[in-house]
Amino acid sequence: MSGGGLRERKKARTRETILREAFRLFRERGYNATTVDQIAEAAEVSPATFFRYFPTKEDLVARDAFPPLIEALRAQPPGPPVAVLRGAFRTAFASLSAEEIAAGHAREVFATTVPELLAANLRRSPGVLREVTQILADRTGSDTDDPRIRNVVGAVFGVVAVVWLQWAQDPGMDGPAEVDMALAHLESGLSL
Amino acid sequence: MSGGGLRERKKARTRETILREAFRLFRERGYNATTVDQIAEAAEVSPATFFRYFPTKEDLVARDAFPPLIEALRAQPPGPPVAVLRGAFRTAFASLSAEEIAAGHAREVFATTVPELLAANLRRSPGVLREVTQILADRTGSDTDDPRIRNVVGAVFGVVAVVWLQWAQDPGMDGPAEVDMALAHLESGLSL
DNA sequence: TCCCTTATGAGAGTACACCCTCATATTTGT
DNA sequence: ACAAATATGAGGGTGTACTCTCATAAGGGA
């Protein structure tokens, strides 16, 4: 990871500096109130350079589509779809270090706090939803647009989203554990 | 409703003209590619006047938080939460005319297509979720932050959202009916 | 009819994301 | 050590949402 020439390392460091300073400023004065010029100045690069690293300001916060989930989903043993998805979430979280989860959470807090960022993230959600739906359909041998699969995916992600929202507001919460419990609840038919 | 002085009527007409022309332009050239100046010109008002009617461009598309749902929810007979929510959706849709549903759908298509608008709509979603959660908690006599209620709300809205997304892409679909079927499926434990 | 309130237009002005160009500095391969 | 490739800075430029001010016009009540 630390390999590559000096150029690569400098680029990576610049990139991290920009990210770090940007999030610091976001935290201090909010996303909208922070201008690109301010971020550039704090990171000691020119505004032009900022845009060479991040095409848009939103890209600072756009995260990748949680690839571990897809991978974990493929590796799940057979079972009812909700259980399979629950297992996938569990496996995916287990594959991350505590630091990774914490970092992801910090970013997530922004993403759920600032609507513009939420939208930037959501922009790629349909793709994830489709992919998950596709995998589940393949596994169960049903059609891709089987409404039942669609409903399962919707319900699961709805539950996860709601836990996520709550986690963003209550940092003391154990997010992954809470997700698992919530999915167990869904699995058992949302009983009271 | 058509009462009031001439002033009121003119204002209402101006407002509708702006909305109509704006959506026409959006349809023709897209949301981002349509400037406020163009909308103002098409509606034959000055740009300044545009902003007197709509504080921001996004407000053209921001819809109210589907008030019929809240109302219908309060009026539901007692029962398990998922069934109550399902009934609320059914009642809410029934209270709307076909035109209203179609208009809402058209607007929805924009809202799911253009990220900026998605953000504008999402901005009020947490409020709706909280309100629905609150009502359900009151009805069942449980605490507002009872995870079970939270999970139910998440699952229901997740399912509805997924149907909604599909509806936005397939205008031939009977949205309300599909929502009802999907919620019935959820109610029965997402069986395959 | 006269006055008061309010809506509008005109137009200049601001803020900020994002682009372009070109000169300079830094790194890499030879 | 040198040349080619590339990263950066400086700084000017653009588009567009949104604001402000002020003069004019239009509606409403007496």
In this prediction, residue A2 has a pLDDT band, given cuts at 50, 70 and 90, of very low
Tell me how close the Cα of A7 comes to any Cα of chain B, in angstroms: 35
Residue B181 with chain A: CB contacts under 8 Å: 147
Q: What's the whole-number average pLDDT of chain A?
A: 86
Per-residue tokens: A78: 């057979």
Closest CB to B192 among A148, A153, A157: A148
Q: Virtual CA dihedral for B132, B135, B141, B144, nearest 10 degrees?
A: 50
Residues A183, A184, A188, A192, CA torsion sign: negative
- Provide CATH 1.10.357.10 ranges for chain B: 61-187
- Whose C1' is closest to the CA of B8: which nucleotide? D27
Give the residue-averaged pLDDT of B39-54.
95
Give the residue-averaged pLDDT of B56-84.
86
Subunit contact A153:B147, Cβ cutoff 8 A: no
Please report, as a single letter, which amino acid is at residue A126.
P
Residue A165's closest chain B neighbor by CA?
A: B126
Tell me how close the Cα of A151 comes to any Cα of chain B, in angstroms: 5
Residue A149 pLDDT > 90, yes or no?
Answer: yes
**CB contact at 8 A, A63 and A121:** yes
Per-residue tokens: B182: 């999907």
Closest CB to A162 among B154, B189, B192: B154
Residue B53 contacts strand D, CB under 7 A: no
3-state DSSP assignment of residue A20: helix
Chain A, chain B: beta-carbon pairs less than 8 Å apart? 118
Residue A1 pLDDT > 70, yes or no?
Answer: no
CA atoms within 13 A on the CB side of B79: 13
Q: Could you tell me which residues of chain A have a Cβ less than 8 Å from any Cβ in chain B? A: 80-82, 115-116, 118-120, 122-123, 126, 129, 140, 142, 147-148, 150-163, 165-166, 178, 181-182, 185-186, 189-192
pLDDT in tens, A75-109: 999 999 999 999 999 999 998 888 888 877 777 77
Query: Considering only CA atoms, which of B96, B189, B191 is closest in space to residue A189?
Result: B189
Query: Considering only CA atoms, which of B141, B136, B188 is closest in space to residue A190?
Result: B188
User: How far apart (Å, rounded) are the C-alpha atoms in residues A71 and A64?
Assistant: 14
- Provide CATH 1.10.10.60 ranges for chain A: 3-55
Which residues make Cβ contacts (< 8 Å) with residue B184, sequence separation at least 6?
Answer: B86
pLDDT in tens, B73-105: 999 999 999 999 999 999 999 998 888 888 778
Query: Considering only CA atoms, which of B190, B17, B12, B182 is closest in space to residue B93?
Result: B182
Please report, as a single letter, which amino acid is at residue B60.
L
Give the residue-averaged pLDDT of B51-68.
84
Closest CB to A126 among B81, B120, B165: B165
Smallest CA–C1' distance to C8, residue: B49
In this prediction, residue B2 has a pLDDT band, given cuts at 50, 70 and 90, of very low
Subunit contact A158:B163, Cβ cutoff 8 A: no
Subunit contact B126:A152, Cβ cutoff 8 A: no
Domain B61-187 has CATH 3.30.465.10: no
Of A43-52, B59-68, B140-149, give the lowest mean pLDDT range: B59-68
Confidence at residue B1, expressed as pLDDT on a 0 to 100 scale: 44
Per-residue tokens: B148: 């079970």
Confidence at residue B67, expressed as pLDDT on a 0 to 100 scale: 72
Smallest CA–C1' distance to D19, residue: B48
Confidence at residue A87, expressed as pLDDT on a 0 to 100 scale: 95
Residue ranges of alpha helices (H) inside B34-124 are 36-43, 47-53, 67-75, 81-94, 98-113, 115-122
Instruction: Identify the CATH homologous superfamily for domain B3-55.
Output: Homeodomain-like (1.10.10.60)
pLDDT in tens, B9-19: 899 999 999 99
Closest CB to B116 among A119, A156, A161: A119
Strand (E) or helix (H) holding A64: none
User: How far apart (Å, rounded) are the C-alpha atoms in residues A74 and A140?
Assistant: 12
Which residues make Cβ contacts (< 8 Å) with residue A173, sequence separation at least 6?
Answer: A166, A167
Of A40-49, A117-126, B2-11, give the lowest mean pLDDT range: A117-126
Residue B4 pLDDT > 80, yes or no?
Answer: no
Confidence at residue A107, expressed as pLDDT on a 0 to 100 scale: 72
Per-residue tokens: A77: 């043993």
Phi, psi of B83 (to 5 degrees): -65, -40
Q: Which residue has the higher pLDDT, A27 or B183?
A: B183
